[in-house]
């Protein structure tokens, strides 16, 4: 079945550590996105990529980094510079730009800083 796979589902990190969240899709989508979800704030865009080897900052990119070496993969690294990383992280993909096509979402990764 085609879809988006995020791993792990739950992740715990000690303060000061970097951690990488995985996102893989087999939908042959060009565009991929990372969103952060906090209670009462909806979804906020962290990074997005429209094509391999290219990505753009979203609204809250500080303290995060990404790479897009393969069409299928768009990992997100939460660095120690992110002041409040505890959140639910969602990866999404779409055929092209999000404006005129729907986005498909993974099941999310819940990151907790301990």
Partner 1 sequence: AQSVTQPDIHITVSEGASLELRCNYSYGATPYLFWYVQSPGQGLQLLLKYFSGDTLVQGIKGFEAEFKRSQSSFNLRKPSVHWSDAAEYFCAVGAIRGATNKLIFGTGTLLAVQP
Strand partners, 93: 32, 104
The residue from 1, 15, 54, 102 that contacts partner 1 (CB under 8 A) is 102
Would you give the binding string for partner 1 spanning residues 43-82, x where CB under 8 A is met?
A: xxx--x-x-----x-x------------------------
Strand order in the sheet with 19-25: 4-7, 19-25, 76-78, 64-66
Residues whose CB is less than 8 angstroms from the CB of residue 42 and which lie 6 or more positions away in sequence, other chains included: none
Measured between alpha carbons, how far is 95 from 89 in angstroms, rounded to an integer? 21
Q: Pick from 15, 41, 54, 114: which binds partner 1 (CB under 8 A)?
A: 41
Residues forming contacts to partner 1 in the complex (CB under 8 A) are 4, 6, 31, 33, 35, 40-45, 48, 50, 56, 58, 88, 90, 92, 97-100, 102-108, 110
């Amino acid at each position: 079945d085609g879809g988006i796979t995020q791993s792990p589902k739950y992740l715990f990190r000690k303060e000061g550590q970097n951690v990488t969240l995985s996102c893989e899709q087999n939908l042959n989508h060009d565009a991929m996105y990372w969103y952060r979800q906090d209670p009462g704030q909806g979804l906020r865009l962290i990074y997005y990529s429209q094509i391999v080897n290219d990505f753009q900052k979203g609204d809250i990119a500080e303290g995060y980094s990404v790479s897009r070496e393969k069409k299928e993969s768009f990992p997100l690294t939460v660095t120690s510079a992110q002041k409040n990383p505890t959140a639910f992280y969602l990866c999404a993909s779409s055929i092209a730009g999000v404006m005129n096509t729907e986005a498909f979402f993974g099941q999310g990764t819940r990151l907790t800083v301990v």
